Structures are given as C-alpha cells and as structure tokens.
Chains A and B, each alone.
Chain A
Amino acid sequence: MTALDTLTTPAVPRRTSPSRGLVLAMLRLHRSALLFWLGLVVVAAGALLWAMGPGADAAWTEYTDTGCDLSHPNLGCDIPGPANSRYQTAVAVGIGLIRLLPLLTGAWAAGALIGRELENGTAQLAWTQSVGPLRWLAAKLAVPAVLLMAGTLTLTLLHRMLWSSDLAPLGVMSWRAWYDDGTFEINGTIAAAQALAALAIGVLVGLLLRRTLPALGVAVLAVVSLVYVLDEVRPHLWPVKTAVRGLEDGTAGSDSMIVETGALTASGARVPIPSCSGEPGCDARNGITHYYADYHPASHFWPLQLMETGLLLAVAALAAATAFVLLRRRTGAAV
C-alpha cells in the first residue's frame, strides 16, 4: 500500500496527516448527531436571544399596562399574561435544552459513538485501517468534546447576557435566583463540565457493555445519578457564612442561598427553632438567645462553580483514563 502510494504520487508535497482523515471519518459517521447538536444550539441560542430582546420588552410592556407595577396590584398579577408566558417559555426552552444535554450526550456516547461500533464490529474494522484502538478512542473523545465545549460555552455566554439584562422588571416577572437549579449551571462553567463528564461516562459504559441499547440505558442512569448527587451536595462544596441575629432583627440577605436555619442557646449550642416561635415568652422559655442562618451569599457563586466544575472534570478524567486502560488491556495495543 505504501509502496503503491509512493509510486503513483511520487513527490506530492501535500501531507495529509492521519488524524485529519480520522476526524473527517468521525464527522461523516456521526453527521446526524452533528446536525442535531447544531440544531439544538441554534434553537437554544435563538430562544435566549429572543427572550433577551423582543420577548422581555413585550412582557414588561404588558406588565406595566395592566398596572401590576403600581402599589395596588390586582389578583390577576399572579397569573402571567400572554406576553409574559411567551417570555417564560422561551427562557424555559433555552434552559431546558441545556439541562437535557448531559443526558443526551451520555446516551449518544454510549449508544451511537461506542456501543454500536463495538456491537457491529465496525470499530474492529477501523482498527485495521492504520488507526490503532487508542488513537481511535482518543479521536472519539476529543472531537465531540471540542464541539460540545464550543456549543455549551456559547450558550453559557448568551445566558449570562440574558441574566445581566434580567434587571429589576424581569426580576419581578421571572422569579429566578442565582442559585436555582438550571440557572446556576448555565451561568458558569458547570454546564460545559457536565457535558464533558457525560461524554466520558458514556464512552466508558459503551466500552464496558459493548452493546448499543444496554449501554444507552446504563449510561443514562449513570449520568442522571451523577447530576442528581451533585445537585444535592452543591451547598456543601464551599464553607458557608453564618448570619446570627437577635430575636427582634430582620432576616439574612434575600439574595442568598440559605443552607440551614436554626436557633442558638446562651451557650452557643445549635437547636431547632421551637414550634412556639413568635409567641410572647416562647424564646426565653426555651433558652434561646439568637437565630442563625447558614447561607451562601451571591459572592460565593464562583467558588461554588469552580468546586463543582473541578469535581465534574475529575469524574470525566477518571472515566476517560479507565476507558483507555480498558481498551488497551482488551486489545493489547500500544499507543
């Protein structure tokens, strides 16, 4: 083959590196997934852009027209009008697509990217075409990772623009806090890291099970549990601040993620808020001197983001490394 090549193309200076062919083959093989991903990014970006511009304007006009911004709002202000519904729907579509992304990525990576190729034997065929198993796996991980990063980070930037333009009027109408599930992930680096972790988990599951549909099912379960567990541990990834207030003072800042609240006795011990709280004499009777609240102020946004991103990237790296070790052991391949 190489001899033939040199004969027919004697000294052509064009050097096509084998990686380029591998990347092109991958893009062609998974062209429907590529188109789907482009479509998803376009739809989500379109929804966010529309919400940022005309959607928000129309919703705010409607809100002021019905007099809900005045001092005597009516009961109808509890129900969003049509323009506000459209705004909320657009934001929900944008965020919903991004929240679905880890699940879709995991399912696709386990099923279409790896599982189907091993089940059909097309992977084994590819390994005979001057591409070793480890190079093949590296391409399988790297190309989708780059595309996922590009798309997710674009959407993250768009959502951050929407969020910073989400001024007081829209704050009234959309009732979103920085720590809400969905909003928190897409405002920082977590959304992209989740996609990477899902990709690596999907690839590992596909390599382990070597069959399309079982791999798909197991990967979906694994990704869903990972996202769920991280949602649960999120408040504990960074030390909380504690606000202590006397019995008559107001509450802690309203823009904070409240982690835990309770009461303090004179010795400083933390006890649950007594059920009679608010009645005269109740606090003294129970020996309570202060109330406390453990919370994350808005300034903890980036520390929390980076801790969770780090965890996700560690999971991704671990899964990818395991996949390489597994494939190497199974095929006995050198790099």
Chain B
Amino acid sequence: MTALTAATTPAARPVRHRGGLLRAVARTHRTALVLWLSALAAATAALIWLHSLGDEARDGMSACATPPTDRLPSCAAVEAITADETYANGIAVLATVLSWVMFPVAAWAGGALVGRELESGTARLAWTQSVGPLRWLAVKLAVPAVLLTAGTGTLVLLNRWARGDGDPDLVGDWYYPDAFVSTGPVAVAYALAGLALGALAGLLWRRALPATGVALAAALLVHSVLERHREDLWPAVTRTEAGSLELPRSAFQVAWADTPRHGVTLTRATFHPESHFWPLQSMETGLLLAVTAAATATACLVLNRRLP
C-alpha cells in the first residue's frame, strides 16, 4: 500500500491529513452540525430580540404613583406595559436551555459520535485509513469541543448582555440555578464535561443506545450533584446578630438559626453575598474541567488498552 502510494505520487503532493480528517468528522456528523448551528442562530436571534425589549420591560417594572407626579409615571401607564412579562419569560426559557446544553451533548457524544461508530465498525475502518485511533479520538473530541466552546461562550456573553442590569424581579436572582449557570463560564464547562463523559461512555459500552443512556445518566448525575452542593464550593459568610436580622435580597441564604439567649433571640445567618459569584463560578468551572480532563484521559487509556 505504501509502496504503491509512493510509486503513483512520487513526491509531488504533501498530503494534508488533518484537513481530511476534519472534513470527514464534519461530514459524518453534518446533521448534528446543522442542528447545533440552527440552535445557535435561533438562540442568538431570541437574545437580540429580548435585549431590544429590555428597556420597555424595565419601564413596566418601575415605581409609579396615582395620580402621576412629575418624577413618577402613573400606575395605569406602567401596568399597561406587557413587555416585562414577555421579557421575563423569554429570559427564563433561554437560561434553562443554556444550562441544559450538557444533556443533548452527552447523549449525542455517547451515541452518534463514538458509540455508533464502534458498533457498526466504521471506526475500525477509519483507523485503517492512515489515521491512528488516538488521532481519531483527538479530532472527534477537539472539533465538537471547539464548536461547543465558541457557541456556548457566545451565547453566555449575549445572555449577559440581554439581561441588562439584571433586575432580579425580571431575570431572577443571581443564585437561581439556571441564572447562575447561564451567566458564566460554567455553562461552557458543563457542555465540555458532557462531551467528554459521552465519549467515555461510548468507548466503554461500544454500542450506540446503551452508551446514549449511560452518558445521559452520567450528565444528569454530575449536573444535579453540582447544583445541590454549589453553596459548599466557597466558604460562606456568617453573620450573627441579636434581634431581627434582615439579609439583603441579593444574599444567597445557606442556613438560618434562631437561638434564644438571655431573653434575646440570637439570629445566625449563613449566606453568600453577590460578590461570591465569581469565586463560585471559578470553583465550579474548575471542578467541571477536572471532570472533563479525567474523562478524556480515561477515554484515551481505554482506547489504548483495547488496541492490539
């Protein structure tokens, strides 16, 4: 084979393997590519539309007076604005969609990206075409990873832009699970973790459907465990006061205890102030990237050991 190749193409064409492999991955998974691009386009359009609604929506939430004064508009006029409801619903839907990107990605990676190819033997065929198994896996992971990072990252930035000043009455408090995930780098890390977990499940099960199910279950597990223990990822602030203690709205309350002492109620509140947003985001992103790295490394090891 090599002799024949050398004979027919003496030394003329420097063959570009990498481009060919990239094109092959894009062509095999063209349905997924088209779906991802259309989802991105739809979400971008929705976010731009929501941003354009933002100012009107905030007017619909503003303070009012009846009868109107020179500083406050009349309540009837404020009440007549319906944009605030549309805006709040739209932002909530997009926040949920952005924080759930991991699930379809994991199912696809386990089923279509890796599992189906190993089940039907097309992976083994590809490995004979001058592409080693590890190179094959690397490209299979790298191309979707780049597309996912670029797409999800763009959507997160657009989402932060569309949320405007982040009025919690309209877009939810910063610590709501969907709002938290959809406004920071965590969203990208979730998508990447889904990809890596899916690929690992595909390599371990080597069959499309079981791998889809296992990948989805793994993604659900990671997502729900992190959502439950998010508050423990950074030391919370504790404030103890006698009498009635009132936390600001932006406080992410973790624990609360009232203890009567010497006739006075002592209140002890544990919470995350809003300034903990970035530390919490960084910790969760770091954890997810560690999961991604571990899953990818395990996938490489599994593939290496499987080979003759």
Q: Is the CB of B66 within 8 A of A79?
A: no
Alpha-carbon distance between A212 and B75 when the two chains are bound, in angstroms: 57
Whether a CB of chain B sits under 8 angstroms from the CB of A25 is no
Interface residues on B, range: 20 to 34
A173 at the interface (CB under 8 A from B): no
Cross-chain contact A213 with B255 (CB below 8 angstroms): no
Q: Mark B255-276, 1 if CB is under 8 A from A, else 0.
A: 1111000000101000000000
* B111 and A275 contact, CB distance less than 8 A: no
CB distance from A4 to the nearest CB of B (A): 36
8 A/B residue pairs, CB under 8 Å, sorted by A:
A74-B265, A76-B256, A76-B257, A116-B209, A213-B111, A213-B212, A216-B111, A275-B78
Residue B208, interface by CB 8 Å: yes
Q: Is A75 an interface residue (CB 8 A)?
A: yes
CA distance A274 to B80 in the complex (A): 9
A32 to B210, CA, bound (A): 9
B163: interface (CB < 8 Å): no
Choose one: B31, B75, B208, B210; the contact of A275 (CB below 8 Å).
Answer: B75
B282 at the A/B interface (Cβ < 8 Å)? no
Q: Is A223 engaged at the interface, CB distance under 8 Å to the other chain? A: no
Residue ranges of B at the interface with A (Cβ–Cβ < 8 Å): 31, 66, 75-76, 78-80, 111-112, 116, 208-210, 212, 253, 255-258, 265, 267
Interface of A is mostly: helix
| A111-B212, A213-B112, A213-B116 given; 6 more Cβ-contact pairs under 8 Å | A75-B267, A212-B116, A212-B208, A275-B66, A275-B78, A276-B76
Residues of A within 8 Å of B79, CB to CB, are 275
User: Which of A116, A212, A275, A279 touches B80 (beta carbons < 8 Å)?
Assistant: A275
The 4 closest A-B pairs by CB, nearest first: A275-B79, A275-B76, A74-B258, A76-B256
Q: Which residues of A contact B265 (CB under 8 A)?
A: 74
Asked if A112 lies at the interface with its beta carbon under 8 angstroms from chain B, I say yes
A216 neighbours in B (Cβ, 8 Å): 111, 209, 212
Q: Determine if B76 and A274 form an interchain contact, defined as CB atoms under 8 angstroms apart.
A: yes
Instruction: Write out, one digit per residue, whether chain A residues 75-96 have a CB within 8 A of any chain B CB (1) or not (0).
Output: 1101100000000000000000
* A213 to B256 alpha-carbon distance, docked (Å): 48
Q: A303: shortest Cβ distance to chain B, in Å?
A: 29
Which residues of A in the span 199-257 have a Cβ within 8 Å of any Cβ on B? 212-214, 216
